[in-house]
């Protein structure tokens, strides 16, 4: 009987120690949508993405969304500069020759993932503009109704649309944003751009998106 009791106590102690040595079982949890979004947006930080009050954002097109110098080159080759014919050539050439700027595309996607409404506002003339609108809409998933031509200035349109933050490459874009009460954010211009004027990054105390050339 003593031998049986001793064996029982030994087995009980062994089982207890084995249970203590086993690693705890941690239930696995699936990643939340917020965590997935944070990973997808890693490395993309702008005041507009960090500010919870931002619901609508606007972006310039030339040298902001598109490296469009090749389209302008076609316009200069085919017509007198800045005529309706010139703008028709430029606006119809983007899909063929202009290049989307990767960092800006990532920023647009990050805003869309947050449920923000995105607008595009260009200073181009609207001659032939339907081609540009269709290209931008299908490429960036932005409604054509959210794409505007504003050759006379963007301040009032930014106000009317209720845009909270505006991205642009030129000094004028930053000024328009400030005048409209929107957060001004600078996208760096490609050194290969044919447009060299109105470009002094940081001169207006705006946020500059790094590596956005």
Q: How many CA atoms lie within 13 A of 114 on its CB side?
A: 21
Distance in angstroms (rounded) separating the CA atoms of residues 205 and 122: 23
- Cβ neighbors of 72 (< 8 A, separation 6 or more) are 62, 90, 194, 195
Strand 66-67 versus strand 99-100 pairing type: antiparallel
Candidate list 51, 60, 94, 164, residue with the active-site label:
60
Distance in angstroms (rounded) separating the CA atoms of residues 118 and 148: 12
Which of 184, 190, 159, 160 has its CA nearest to residue 172?
184
Longest dimension (CA), the chain: 112
62 is an active site residue: yes
169 is an active site residue: no
Candidate list 62, 63, 169, 173, residue with the active-site label:
62
Determine contact, residues 40/52, Cβ cutoff 8 Å. no
Distance in angstroms (rounded) separating the CA atoms of residues 208 and 93: 29
End-to-end Cα separation, the chain, in angstroms: 86
- Active-site residue numbers? 60, 62
């Amino acid at each position: 009987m003593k031998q049986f009791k001793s064996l029982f106590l030994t087995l009980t102690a062994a089982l207890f120690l084995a249970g203590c040595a086993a690693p705890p079982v941690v239930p696995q949890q699936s990643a939340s949508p917020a965590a997935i979004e944070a990973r997808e947006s890693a490395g993309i930080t702008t005041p507009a993405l960090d500010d919870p009050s931002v619901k609508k954002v606007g972006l310039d097109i030339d040298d902001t969304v598109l490296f469009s110098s090749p389209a302008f080159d076609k316009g200069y080759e085919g017509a007198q500069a800045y005529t309706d014919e010139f703008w028709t050539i430029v606006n119809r050439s983007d899909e063929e020759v202009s290049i989307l700027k990767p960092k800006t595309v990532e920023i647009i996607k990050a805003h869309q993932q947050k449920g923000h409404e995105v607008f595009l506002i260009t200073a181009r003339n609207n001659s032939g503009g339907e081609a540009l609108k269709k290209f931008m809409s299908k490429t960036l998933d932005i409604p054509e109704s959210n794409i505007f031509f504003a050759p006379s200035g963007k301040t009032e349109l930014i106000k009317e649309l209720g845009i909270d933050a505006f991205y642009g490459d030129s000094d004028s874009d930053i000024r328009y944003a400030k005048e409209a009460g929107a957060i001004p954010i600078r996208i760096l211009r490609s050194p290969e751009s044919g447009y060299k004027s109105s470009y002094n990054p940081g001169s207006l105390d705006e946020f500059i998106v790094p590596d956005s050339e």
